[in-house]
Structures are given as structure tokens and as C-alpha cells.
Amino acid sequence: MNVKTIKHIIFFVSMFGLAACTKDSKNQLNPLLKDSQNIISTRPQNSSQLIAILKLKNPALLENATMTNGKPVVDAKLLAAILKEQDEFIKALKELSTEIQVIYRYKMVLNGLAILAPIELAEKLKTLGEITSVETAGNFLPPKTMELSNSVLAPIFKDRNSAKFVGAEKLNQMGITGKGISVGIIDTGIDYTHAMFHGIGTEEAYKAVNPSGPAVGFPNDRVVGGIDLVGTAYDSASPDFSLHIPKPDMNPLDEAGHGSHVAGTVAGLGDGVNTYNGMAPEAVLHAIKVFGANGSTSDTVVIAALEYAADPNADGDAKDSLDIVNMSLGSGYGNPHIMYTEAIKNLVAGGTMVIASAGNSGHKDYITGAPGTSDDAFSVAASVDDGNQNWKFDSSKIHLGADNLLVEAVEAATSKPIAEAGNVTGKLVFIGLADKELTADQIAAVSGNVALIDRGIVEFNMKVKRAQDAGAIGVVVADHSPGSPTKMGTRDEFKIPAIMITLENGKKIKAAMALGVEATIEFQAAEKIEKPELIDTLTSFTSKGPRSTDGFIKPEISAPGSNVISAKMGGGAKAVQMSGTSMAAPHMSGIMALVKQAHPTLSAYELKSVAMGTAKTIGEKGERYAISLQGSGRVQADQAALSPMVAAEASISIGETAVESKKSVRRVLHLKNLSKADLQLTAVFEGNGFITMTSDSSVTVKAGAASEFGVVLTLDASAMKDESIREMDGWIKFMNGQEEVYRIPVLAIAHKLSAIQAMDLVVQATSARDADGALAKLTLNNANQNVGEALLFNLIGQDDRKPAASNYMSADCDLQSAGYRIVTRKDEKNVDQDILQVAIKTFKPMTTWNSCDISILIDANGDGIADQELLGSSLASLPGQKTEAFASTLLDAAKAREIRKEYEAKVVAAKNDPVKLAALKGTENYDAAVIDQQGFTIYNNSSVVIVEALVSSLAHNAEGNLAFKVLTSHNEQSSVQMDDYLADTLTTDRQISLKKADQAFVNLPETVSLTASETKVLDLTKGFGNESLLVLMPQNKFSASDLYTDAQAQVVKATYKP
């Protein structure tokens, strides 16, 4: 046994306290990770265990480490104290329950444990004095790449490749190759048999390795270390809880293909035929496997991976810590309030850069993903490089008599690839929408020919299937709306080619055919369609920021992530093309290896800054992208490695901020000269017209020295015109003469505030005794120049704040108050219908409401169990729904519980059959429990939402009243309190009458708008109820403070004056 093997075993033993299933674990279901975890009536009924992360009192080793020659030196006394603390605490846990098992022990990046425990101990664990915080295990979905949109021209690596495009190849030719730099790939493992990693380089070599057995050919001179933290079968999202328990081994062989592709981009060795060199071809790799062959991983495993990166040989000495780790994984609307954020912070403080993908959820505000949203992670968006495959596309040729029409060959997802089918040619026969079974005449006409079909009515799969069944040799679908054609989402494996063409081209073909012109198609034309305008743009899938919790800059930089060519797992020497921010992140990891080699004395923070400070602004169609989409710009590796300066501040994130008219903020920037010549710097601001800058006139930074530079940034709300929210962004650009040498991105999410207040509420009656039906006058005033809205409700109740949260726990979804009203609207038949609306007000604002679900639990028979649940949420929270739109969904709670029970029974029955178990994923469906769906009114960037339901659909009790509980549920495992019930409704139902006249105030307007400095007096009607009036003002001042409240809610008590 060699020394390296011994060190790996030391790590293995020290990290893992559990390597096998515990008693009865095969019969358990996941109590926390399920599709519908925040919907009360669909929560698991058969859960008995949980996995949790417990943080202990002593600081982590890297938290108190000192830096020597760029590596952390840990405190030996602190190490001893941590080990003693953990040993004693584990003993205490065993005394609490012998069923508690330790899965991981963390020391470097976190002082804590990951444990498996009986679920009934969940609350008990939180009370143990040795624990500073408890967090239930959360999920990371398996890494997914975006599918290729079309066939591509064979690449010519000598002329164009992503390494050349970003300047990495130029640095390689200068001798900056990543030599001496170590990079950890936290992913699905690495195929170390592949030629790109100096493996044997044959498909047979890969097949000969048992991924759970001895690691033949590992380690080698390219993949010098690593570990499988989970085992082949691991899947933290499996319905079978036993698969959530890691079964690690020492063989980090890739079984999913993602990690090998990522690793090849970082530091692979290309052959110039199938592949080209990664960014840093002489950096060494560590394969840190956190995914099984299929399925998800959890943050307990990710923290273990970060722990490995801090101390690969687990000897308690961090001098062997990795220089960089790549994390091409994540989830949307990323929340940085989570325990792995602390682990990332400590790892970066110890000198290791953490590079993370931004996510593939598209250009939606705030959707950028975690863990890239952690403060200290480096979040990477996906751009398009100049490789042939990105702008030279295969085409099909349509002959219309003497005229030819060249169209892009946008192939369906599962049609026969044109490259495999050969040059299929045939006559086009138009068969309409193919939304019904084809007629005998249509079948006869299309047989042996190519079907031309219009898009619409039915799914693509059905259209292609009907054509193929009729004997068609190919399919062309004409789009039904303007714009570029899309990849058709077919499912079946078809034996014929199928493409989509534009609406315009479809019209041309059908018009010619109508004139008697015969139309034919060559699916594989010799010509290529060139679109050079795509080069140096962003991909359509890259996730947009800013960070959902506070509006800070994420993603922070862009790198190539479209049709990237790299190692194919099990392919020997072959390559595969993949797209995604998963491909962009390893470009940055490899580039940062080069930059670190070029600037060995810079900290991890400074390395991040120098990459952002030398990026290039990109855009499309003459418009540059927002900073919240591209970050500081597209990376330029050569410029970063050769930068003459660095700023301590990589960016200026003002975040979500209130602006009535104008507002100025001051920042002091700390500039360091990395060159041997003095720098005479001036600064200019280049932005989108909403921020102006005044600054020091200039600064001279001596060679090798540092200087400060002050700037004042003024945000101008008057330029927003009618907008209430606006991204104000730009760059502070430092000029040395006429040359830009550095940039710092700036972003503010400005909210134009109203200042609405209820001045008084006077009921024109002698007292409450004779007030029924009386006129009530409410005076509202808007004290500033910005338009705002007031929403009026009868008060249900108010609530206290959640317990105080640590920096790594979230107090979001903290219920402050709730109100109700009954409004009347016309239905589609112009008939009046009464609708119950319930307004929810939280203490802190939400940029989006994706992380909070609203539940109104209705108990009609008084047995303490909900008969109905009115759910306000994204429909992504409700399995079976086909959209992510927000809605108010009224559920038959008993039916929902029955559906969940049946689902769990199927899981138990399939627990010993992996195929059946896998087939159960995604089958949980609550459509049958849906009684009704109505609108869900969301005021993003505020603390107010409104759920609603038809009064006629609600289940009332024997007295005719609605008995209910109100709660918010936070769908992040980092929540200091997952469920927050309104006041005492956890134990006692609130009751309201469903008769309009029984409200305290009736016929309340749905919205009251007030313009600048406007005062309005509203005529209301006093009802029989005695509740106060709740006035909500979602455009008023908000507050993210744990101490101070906002100005978005006011409880108004009536006075009486006849």
C-alpha cells in the first residue's frame, strides 16, 4: 500500500462515520426532500428519519487560519479543541438516541456534523446547547446540460476554439499553463481512462473499471487525487430514503459524463483532432465525486467536498489545500443563507477560489442559482465563442421550381439525425395541422414523401408520429408565430428526420404549392448558414440575476458555455459537445489557474477581482447586456493575467435600495499596482443613464504600491419616468491616459417609493352600537412625488417576528399580518361571483415569491385536520401542474393526503427494484385534488401578496363560518423557522363569516391609486364585524432589517362621529 493510498484512507475514515445503511433505512421515505414539501396537505405521512447538519460552537479551522506563502496554517490547539468537542457531542447524541448516526465530520470549512436521526428528534436537536445552528439537508439537482439546438460543422481547432477565443491559448504559448496549480472538480467524477487525462484512451479501458471497485489507472499525472463521497447508487432525491445515505469509496470514476467534460475544459490535453487543450493544460486535477450514477446530491455532501478541498489528505494540515474548485451545479433563485455558504466563505478565506455556474434557467430576473449566489463564490454566466459549431449551421434546401430556399436545419429532439439519415430528399406534401388522425387521402399523398405540417393544437410528437405512421420519409413543421424556429420537444425515437422552419418560410412554400409549383427538400444541403452576429453574445439559457435575496451582482462574469467540445466519458479519446453554464464555469476555473500562476501572491478575492476588472462588455443587436446578466463582462484571460493593477473591490453592489428622487452613496476603492511602472489613473463612469459619478480627479499609484480612490455615485429616480423599479448599472472605468486598464461593475436595484398613510377613519355613527351600515370615511395621503397603491382589508391578525437568525440562516417568509375581504366580480358569463381574498404581509420584502408558499388551512368539521387548503404559490410547488405560473389553488386536503399515501405505498413496494423506483420519480400528481384555481396577486419587491378563492367553493363549518389557520412556509432548508403560523392559529382556528355584510368594512375597493402629493377621501360602508382596517401599501418604504419595520402596513382603528 503506497503513501498516497494511506492518506486517502485517513481522509475516508476521518470524514465518514457512516458507510452503510442503518437499521430499517430501506423502508424509510425522505421526510424533507420531496416535490411538494411545503404544501401541508401533501407532506409525507410515513417519515421516520432525517438528515441534518449541526454546527458546533468552536470556529472552523480555516476561520482562524493564518496565511503563509498563499496557504493556510491552522491552529493546532483549535484542531484539538474541535476534535474533543465533536467526540463529546457525538457521545451525547448517542445518549440521546442510539439510532443517531454520524455521516460526515467537518473541521476545516465548518465545525460540524452531518447526522442521520429519528425525525421525532428534530426539535430536540435544536435545543441542545452545544449546537449553534441546525439545518436539514437540501438538494442539488443532477447537473444538466442544455441540448444542442442543431447539427454543427466539424470544428477546426487550429483556427478557432474557446481557449484561443478567451486568450488562454495566448498565455499557454507564453508559458503560463497552470503548472503547479491544483483544481478540484466537484461533480460526477472524472473518467481518468480518457486520453485527455493521460488515461489509456480506449473505450475498453473505461468499461474494464468497476466504479465501485479498485481504481485502475487512478491516480495518474493528470488526475492526481480525488474521492467518491457518495457511491454509485446515491440519489438524495430518490423516493427511497436508503439511497440518501452515502456509501463512499475511493474510486471517483465518472458514471454520468458531466464531470469528465468539465474537467477536460479546465485542464484536459487535446489531440487537435477530436479535442483541444483545456484552459490550463498543466494544472492538476482532483476528482471529487458528489453525484451517483443518476440523481441528485445534497449540501451535506457538497460541504464534505469543500472539506476535502481544504485538506485532501485529511491530516489536519491545510498546506495541501486546492487552489481552485469548480462547482458546476446548483438550483434556481439561489439563497445564500445556507450553511454551505459559510463553508465556501471559510474555504475562500483559506486561499481556495470557488467557481460556480450561474444556472440554465434563462433571462428571468433573480433566477440565478446557488451556490454561485454565495458571497465568496465566483458565479459564471454562459456566452458564445467563435467556434464553427456556434455560428455555422447545417442547412436544408427546399426547391420551389426554379427557386431555392435555404433554411436552418433545426432538428427535433428525438428525430433521426440528418447526419445519420443521409441526404434524404423528397416531395413536400402539405397535410395541415395533423391534429387529427390523417385521412386516407392524406396517408396516400404523404406516403414516400415529406410531410409539411403547420405548428399548433397538438404536440410535436403526435404530428411527427402521424406522419411517420403514414409512411412519410421526413417531416417539416412550419412555425405559427414570427421568430426563429425552435427545437421540437419530441419524445419517441423516430426513424425519419424532422425539422422546424420559420413562419415566413412556411408561408412561401405553401403559397408556391398553391400555385401548382412542386416543392421538394434536401435535408442535408452542402451550404452552411452563417450567423456571425451570435459570436460574443450570451446564450439564451444563461440565468439572469441579480441575487434574489438582496439584489447584489450575480452572476459576476461570463465565459464560453455554448456547444463546448470536451472529453466524452467512456469515449477513449472522443469528444462530445455540451452547452450550459456548467461548461462556462470550468472555462473560468482553468483561466483562474492561469491567472494564479501569473499572480501567485494575490489572494482568492484579488484573483476574482482581476478577472472581473479586465472583462469585456458584450451585447447583441447594438445593445449591451445588463450587468445582472453578463456580470462585469466576458472574461479575457490574457488581460487578467497581464493586468497592471487590481482593486480590492471586485464590484459595488448597492442592491435593493429605496430612492424617492435622488440618492448618493460613497465608496472608497483600494487600488494596487502590480506592475513595475507608476500608474496615473483617472476614472469615468459608463452606465445606462441612471447613475452619475463624481470622484477624485486622479490618483498616482506607485509601482508595487497601493492607493485609495474615493467615488460618489448618485442614483436618479427622476430618470425612471413611470417605472417603479429599475436596474441602475454601469462600470467605473480606470483609465491610464486613453486606455482602459480596469473596471468595477456597479449595480443598484432602485425602488421609487410612495409615502402613503391613512390619516383617519371616521364612521359617521354615534358609536359601534349603531354603526351597522353607516358611512365610513377613510382619508389617505401620499406625501411624496411618486405614485403608489393602497390595499384595504379587514384585519385577521398580527404576528411577532421569527426568532433571531444567524448570518447563515434565513428569516424570510416571516408573517407579520393578514387581512381579508370579499369582493364581487363578473365571471365569463357576466354573472356576479363573490371571491374571498386574503392578504399576507411579511416583515421583510421578497424580490420574488418563489421561496415562500402561503397556506390557508380550512377545517370545516372541527376535527383539527384541514379539509381544504388554499395554496398561494408557484405551480412548480404542486406536482402535476404543467406551468410555473403563480396561482391560488384550492385543494381537497383529504384527497391530497390520500394521493400522497398511495404514492408512498408505491415507493415502499418498489424499494427493492431500482427500475421501478426510478420510474416513480415525477409521478406524484395532485391534479385530482384541485377544486379551483384563481389568481395570486404578487407585489414583487414588496412584502405583500393576495390569495383568493371563490366563496362558493369554500367549505364552511356548521355555523356557516370559515374556520382556518394562516401560515407561510419557507422552502429553503436554511430557514430559522420553516412554517410560520399567524399568531395563535397553530392551536386555535380563526373564524370569519362568508357573508359580505358581516365584514367590518364592506365593498372595499380592490386597489386605490394615489398620485404625487394626492389626498383621497374614500367612502366605505361599515359592516357588522368589529375588526380594524388593515391598509397595505406595497410601494411604500421597505425594510430588510431584523429590527426595524417597514412602512407597508398600517392598522387603522375607527373613530365615531355622527
pTM, full prediction: 0.91
Is the model's pLDDT at 152 over the cut of 60? no
Q: Are 250 and 213 in contact (CB under 8 A)?
A: no
Omega before 914 within 30 of 0, i.e. cis: no
Q: Under DSSP, is residue 130 helix (H, G, I), strand (E, B) or coil?
A: coil
Q: CB atoms < 10 A from the CB of 1007, how many?
A: 9
CATH architecture assignment, domain 645-752: Sandwich (2.60)
CATH number of 392-530: 3.50.30.30
* Mean pLDDT, rounded, of the chain: 91
- The model's pLDDT over 248-306, given as tens digits with 9 standing for 90+, comes to 999 999 999 999 999 999 999 999 989 999 999 999 999 999 999 988 999 999 999 99
Q: Under DSSP, is residue 93 helix (H, G, I), strand (E, B) or coil?
A: helix
Rounded Cα distance between 188 and 327, Å, is 10
| CA neighbours closer than 13 Å in the CB half-sphere of residue 759 | 11
Residue 241 is predicted with a pLDDT of 87
Find, among 488, 449, 489, the residue nearest to 470 by Cα: 449
Is the model's pLDDT at 989 over the cut of 90? no
- The model's pLDDT over 555-599, given as tens digits with 9 standing for 90+, comes to 999 999 999 999 999 999 999 999 999 999 999 999 999 999 999
Q: CB atoms < 10 A from the CB of 239, how many?
A: 24
Residue 808 is predicted with a pLDDT of 61
Least confident window among 62-76, 123-137, 314-328, 676-690: 123-137
Rounded Cα distance between 154 and 247, Å, is 41
Find, among 571, 523, 624, 38, the residue nearest to 260 by Cα: 571
Residue 27 is predicted with a pLDDT of 29
Residue 417 is predicted with a pLDDT of 93
Q: Which CATH number fits domain 162-386+536-641: 3.30.830.10, 3.90.180.10, 3.40.50.2300, 3.40.50.200?
A: 3.40.50.200
Residue 900: DSSP 8-state: H
Q: Are 618 and 558 in contact (CB under 8 A)?
A: yes
- The model's pLDDT over 786-833, given as tens digits with 9 standing for 90+, comes to 999 999 999 999 999 877 766 666 778 889 999 999 999 988 889 999
At residue 155 the predicted structure's pLDDT band, cuts being 50, 70 and 90, is low
Over range 912-916, report the average pLDDT: 82
Q: Are 359 and 544 in contact (CB under 8 A)?
A: no
- Check if 162-386+536-641 and 645-752 are the same fold: no
Question: Percent of the chain at pLDDT above 70?
Answer: 93
Domains of the chain, by residue range, sit at 162-386+536-641, 392-530, 645-752, 756-802+809-1056
Rounded Cα distance between 638 and 611, Å, is 10
Q: Under DSSP, is residue 361 helix (H, G, I), strand (E, B) or coil?
A: coil
Over range 677-681, report the average pLDDT: 96
- The model's pLDDT over 8-47, given as tens digits with 9 standing for 90+, comes to 333 443 454 443 333 333 223 333 333 334 467 777 666 6
**Partners of 797 in the beta sheet?**
818
Rounded Cα distance between 574 and 202, Å, is 9
